[in-house]
């Protein structure tokens, strides 16, 4: 099972407000630690994460996540944290 998520900057926020741009920053060390721990979970084969850091405009990719594992039941619980 392979699940892929591609987060994109939308023109409206979840609360309905208009979005002009978005600033994204993250703790690389924390992300690396999280991915390393999730790779230890039985049934997970690989996890790849890319995050677009900086000021993003509407339509820009925010992040891409790919989780590969044996079965859907192995992959879905871990995929939800992203």
Report the DSSP pairing between strands 2-8 and 44-51: unpaired
Question: For 32-73, how does the pLDDT look when each residue is reduced to its tens digit (9 = 90+)?
Answer: 999 999 999 999 999 999 999 999 999 999 999 999 999 988
Task: Please give the radius of gyration of the chain, using alpha carbons only, rounded to the nearest integer.
Answer: 14
Q: What is the torsion angle, in degrees rounded to the nearest 10, for the CA atoms of residue 50, residue 56, residue 58 and residue 64?
A: 0
Are 1 and 75 a contacting pair, CB within 8 Å? Answer: yes
- Global pTM value: 0.81
Domains and CATH numbers, the chain: 2-79 (3.90.1170.40)
């Amino acid at each position: 099972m392979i699940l892929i998520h591609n987060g994109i900057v939308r023109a409206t926020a979840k609360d309905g407000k208009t979005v002009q741009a978005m600033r994204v920053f993250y703790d690389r060390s924390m992300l690396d630690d999280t991915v390393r721990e999730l790779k230890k979970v039985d049934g997970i084969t690989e996890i790849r994460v890319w995050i677009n850091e900086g000021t993003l405009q509407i339509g820009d990719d925010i992040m891409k996540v790919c989780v590969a594992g044996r079965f859907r039941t192995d992959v879905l619980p871990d995929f939800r944290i992203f």
